[in-house]
Structure 1
């Protein structure tokens, strides 16, 4: 009889601890969702792939990707990488306040490039998700050969 009572007590204590543990997990998930909604957000003014159009090999062009921090905390861009050394990004080094606007400037040098070019710039920031890709394209035509005789 004592064994049954002991088993019953152990079972009830185990269920109580398990329930408490589930409540903590549920509270943690709720807190995480609430914080996630307030995280900084990169909201870009334009969607899709930016098109530089048709260029001549050797042209250098640039474009500013305007954005707004639509989160509730300051936005900090930690780093930006480009898929190619021909692309140079510039970004704000100071935190961007909630509701504030800024831009990421991208310069593309077409020297040594031919044909359709598709490039990606990856922004690393304190956002959720932590990486955001920007893309652009250009059609690069060969430079006219100035040494060619008519």
Structure 2
């Protein structure tokens, strides 16, 4: 279920850097949420630098805005740790000044999140039942 979108403007990274970044972001996300990495979806969304104002300038400096989604019920500690780790990766791997990095956590109720045609609220019930009756 975990989904993150990294909106990048002000420059393009080589494919190898983007691959490294998305792989590490996915692994961090899964580790913090204690879920299989195959559930994570991470997107690197490149924006034309002439269509984004950063610090009031067009084009602005290399910058990133990220949005990540978690199901309601995840702790504040988990949510803050995810945001912190994403900021560290953006600075360390993408070489972006932390002053121009912004992020946002979106909490979604399980009955409002669909996975392959099934709602997370129903999938949670099924997983809990399986754990009770192995």
Specify the structure having the higher radius of gyration (Cα).
Answer: 1
Provide TM-score, normalisation by structure 2.
0.31
Which structure has more helix as a fraction of its residues?
2
Which structure has more strand as a fraction of its residues?
1
